[in-house]
Amino acid sequence: MVPRVLGPGEVHRFRELARRILAPQDAEEYREKHVAIGSLLDILRDPESIELIDHPRTLAALRHLGFDDPRYEHGIVFNKLPRTPRTFWHQDGTAWNHPSAYAPDPQELILIYYLVDTTPRNGCLRVIPGSHRKRHPLHDRLRDTYTPDLRRMRDPSSPAFQSYEDEVPLPVAAGDLVIIDARLLHAAHANDSDEDRTALSLWYATDHRKLPECIRARFSLRTGVDERLPYVPEGFPEGAASRLRRMLPPAYEGSVEPLPMNSIPDERLR
């Protein structure tokens, strides 16, 4: 956790950005589909998001961790409405079909900026330390779960919604930044408060140049719109688009086939 990456003025500014993006969450159908996770709305719906994507204090924090060339992939407004249930356990690794996914160094990081003070009462993150490198019983219990059903919380008794002895809550103050390995098992507490719990979650490749070629081929700049892979939105102001391009992975120009996405670790995770 990196405290106070965003100052009070920036927290207010990005709350307003989130508010502009969150309009679809007002629809009853959207809320029902996402009751256990909140919102999953692309931050590139608003060009002001570039102020967060290339934030100098964030990039300095990543350099301090040894990541000199992070490349932005995608990001969401992650907003839990008042009186909404827990977010289910999951991990966001997508290259488990490649040996590099089982190596110590992360390929992808998730950076979460909290825009309100966040505790277990209003939906702070909870994590299982070490689960990015060591198998946990949850890895097998989650294998047969269906993500759309988890988002709807079809079965509150599912292992994906339970508490575990080795989980750790991560309470934070508004403006703090939490950085986690995308492979780490994580979830969020319920929001039992009367206010929204708003955060912005951004994914970065840690060092694009060092990734295996087949993974670089997948994390490649796209010409069309794809909210899960790097792209420049049509109609973005040129200044914002230019800054965004500098933060995105370059377009892949080789001949290797992109590695298919695979979010399930196999027996190599022990």
8-247 adopts what CATH topology?
Answer: Jelly Rolls (2.60.120)
Q: What is the mean pLDDT of the chain?
A: 93
Which amino acid makes up residue 77?
V
Q: Please report the pLDDT score of residue 224 as a whole number.
A: 56
Is residue 32 very low, low, confident or very high in pLDDT (cuts 50, 70, 90)? confident
Write down the pTM of the prediction: 0.93
Find, among 184, 150, 151, the residue nearest to 167 by Cα.
184
The sheet with strand 41-42 has its strands ordered as: 41-42, 71-80, 197-205, 108-114, 177-181
CA distance 204 to 247: 9
Name 204's bridge partners: 72, 109
| Structural contact between residues 110 and 167, judged by C-beta atoms closer than 8 angstroms | no
Are 111 and 70 spatial neighbours (Cβ–Cβ below 8 Å)? Answer: no
How would residue 30 be classed by pLDDT, with cut points 50, 70 and 90?
confident
Say how many Å lie between the first and final Cα of the chain, rounded.
Answer: 27
